[in-house]
Structure 1
Amino acid sequence: MIQRFSLAATSLLASAGFALIPAAQAQDASGPGITFELGAAGKVTPSYFGSSDYILSPVPLIRLKRLELPNGFVIGGGSDEGFSLSPSFAVVGERSTKDSPELVGLNTIDTAFEFGLAAKYQVGQFRVMGALRRGFGGHEGIRGELGADYIYKPDDKWTFHGGPRLDFADSTFANTYFGVTAAEASGSFPATTASGGLISAGLEAGVRYQVNEAWAVEAGASWDRLVGDAADSPITAQGSKDQYSVQFGLLRRFDIGF
């Protein structure tokens, strides 16, 4: 499951695509300055990995579109074609029996902050992307994501995308969220060790409508199926192997010259 940004009852989404290109290719550039999008969304996600209960959370949206320095150095602002890098940040919210009484007997897992790097390569209507992050706090494991999209743009206002998604994690992450220690073991939760590897596989689809040059509306939905030890975990047995999410948001573009 790609539970990218959830913080208890609050989700956080922050994405920025950094494509290093020559200034002459920066089609949207109009001199030194910065172009970015700010917005907010509502997102429905499982309350924890493997849960069948869902929560609605506010999601801040941050998108860096272009940064051009006076010396001619440009980040973004051109075509989406080619290879690009971006930072990847995620927050996994606290898991506790206070919010999920079906997990009584399991220890509380504190909020985890994840930092890493994402990459994307796009050719025409196809793109592939991946991300790798390291956790701090609630877990100290490694998570990875791989995906591919088909992109359809019938006109200048509408953009549709969709494709498969794969989530990976090491044993530290897997044991944190799907394992049960000997001290936690009970009739409902036998002692369980979860191995790293493929955690889930699924599909994601989204749409963007460009209202005008300043405003855009986005919506998306995903389905992920937990696999391997994540699917077989007694924690998942309290909920569901199938994990869904739905999001709807509004963004505004800002252009600031230097």
Structure 2
Amino acid sequence: MKPSRLPVLAAALALLALGSPASAQSVETHQYVLDLGGGVMAQPRYPGSDETIFVPYPLIAASRFFVPGYGQVDEEGNTRGLTIYPSFNYIAKRNSADSNELEGLKDVDWALEAGIGISYRYDWIRGFAEVRQGFNGYSGQVAQLGIDVIASPSEDLELRFGPRAGWGSQNYMDTYFGISAKEAADSPLYDASYKADAGFDTVGLAGSASYDLTENWKLHALVGWDRLIGDAGNSPIVKEGSQNQYYAGTGLTYRFAFDLF
């Protein structure tokens, strides 16, 4: 979110080249069915910031895909059972020149997170866990746990809402919430180093809505709040910013179906 999303968008464009518009029949016959698109997000300028910015962001969801050695995974219309799915996230560059609270701290390059999620749904409730590996900006791992209550007021509308908890590895935590001795010496705000260890860093709530405009076009909206806790919440960087992190966004996706094997 913030500067360039070229790594994620390039992957989306590659998939677009392979795919074709999905129909009710192709959803059932093709190995992969992806909803690809984009939107606008309001979010903190960086983890722990009290400033809000508006940024573009990609929307990528796999409702049907084939895992070699495992078989076909179909989340579409599946209201009971286990689902495995890909998980992605993007963290934009943290530039010390953008905020007074970052003066003297090192810049953190953009990071792409890629991993896997597992969810179990039973009718109107769904629990999930996601684990992702960070690349470029940091090289650690993050995880998110959550529970969603699911409602479908109409055939075209689905609502989800529930609690969230986030965890970060040592490298992730120290990259975004730690302060080195050199940074403390260079900063006018921070007079001591700070080490952020691995652990849970957020608890919060999130809600989303998806509305089928047509067979292939879908409108999405999301809103959420995270409270930074543990070593993240106690970081001097966060205390100069805010422990409360709010975000909201909206966007459109288009459905594509294709085969690779």
TM-score > 0.5, shorter chain as reference: yes
From the superposition, tell whether residues 94 and 213 of structure 1 become closer, same or farther in structure 2 (CA, over 3 Å).
same
Query: What corresponds to 2:45 in structure 1?
Result: 47
1:94-173 → structure 2 map (5 Å cutoff) = 94-173=93-172
From the superposition, tell whether residues 29 and 175 of structure 1 become closer, same or farther in structure 2 (CA, over 3 Å).
closer
Q: CA deviation at 1:253?
A: 2.3
Instruction: Give 2:125's aligned amino acid.
Output: F
For the aligned residues, what is the CA RMSD?
Answer: 2.7
The answer to whether residue 6 in structure 2 is matched with residue 8 in structure 1 is no
Aligned-partner Cα distance in 1 for 2:137–2:66: 37
The answer to whether residue 201 in structure 2 is matched with residue 199 in structure 1 is yes
From the superposition, tell whether residues 30 and 116 of structure 1 become closer, same or farther in structure 2 (CA, over 3 Å).
closer
Tell me, yes or no, if the aligned pair for 1:134 and 1:143 is still in contact at 8 Å: yes
TM-score (norm 2): 0.82
From the superposition, tell whether residues 91 and 202 of structure 1 become closer, same or farther in structure 2 (CA, over 3 Å).
same
Number of residue pairs aligned between Structure 1 and Structure 2: 240
From the superposition, tell whether residues 212 and 198 of structure 1 become closer, same or farther in structure 2 (CA, over 3 Å).
same
Give secondary structure in 1 for the equivalent of 2:154: coil
1:52-108: CA deviations, max 9, x gaps? 111111122222333579xxx633255242111122222222112122243111111
From the superposition, tell whether residues 221 and 78 of structure 1 become closer, same or farther in structure 2 (CA, over 3 Å).
closer
Query: What corresponds to 2:20 in structure 1?
Result: none
Q: CA deviation at 1:143?
A: 0.8
Instruction: Give 2:137's aligned amino acid.
Output: G
Give secondary structure in 1 for the equivalent of 2:167: strand
Tell me, yes or no, if the aligned pair for 2:2 and 2:56 is still in contact at 8 Å: no
Aligned-partner Cα distance in 2 for 1:257–1:94: 35
Instruction: Report which stretch shifted further, 109-118 or 234-243.
Output: 109-118
Instruction: Report which stretch shifted further, 30-39 or 247-256.
Output: 30-39
Aligned-partner Cα distance in 1 for 2:142–2:102: 23
Tell me, yes or no, if the aligned pair for 2:221 and 2:251 is still in contact at 8 Å: yes
Instruction: Give 1:40's aligned amino acid.
Output: G
1:102-156: CA deviations, max 9, x gaps? 3111111122222221111111000011111222222122211100000011220
Tell me, yes or no, if the aligned pair for 2:33 and 2:62 is still in contact at 8 Å: yes
Query: What corresponds to 1:62 in structure 2?
Result: 60
Instruction: Give 1:217's aligned amino acid.
Output: L
Aligned-partner Cα distance in 1 for 2:209–2:173: 32
Give secondary structure in 1 for the equivalent of 2:96: coil
Q: CA deviation at 1:160?
A: 0.8
The answer to whether residue 244 in structure 2 is matched with residue 250 in structure 1 is no
Percent of residue pairs identical: 33
Instruction: Report which stretch shifted further, 225-234 or 107-116.
Output: 107-116
Aligned-partner Cα distance in 1 for 2:5–2:31: 32
Aligned-partner Cα distance in 1 for 2:63–2:25: 12
The answer to whether residue 189 in structure 2 is matched with residue 188 in structure 1 is yes
Tell me, yes or no, if the aligned pair for 2:184 and 2:193 is still in contact at 8 Å: yes
Question: Which one of the candidate residues 229, 232, 252 is aligned to 1:230?
Answer: 232
Aligned-partner Cα distance in 1 for 2:255–2:111: 30
Tell me, yes or no, if the aligned pair for 1:66 and 1:75 is still in contact at 8 Å: yes
Q: CA deviation at 1:29?
A: 4.4
Give secondary structure in 1 for the equivalent of 2:97: coil
Instruction: Give 1:51's aligned amino acid.
Output: S
User: Which one has the bigger helix percentage?
Assistant: 2
Aligned-partner Cα distance in 1 for 2:240–2:138: 21
Aligned-partner Cα distance in 2 for 1:147–1:247: 19
Aligned-partner Cα distance in 2 for 1:124–1:28: 25
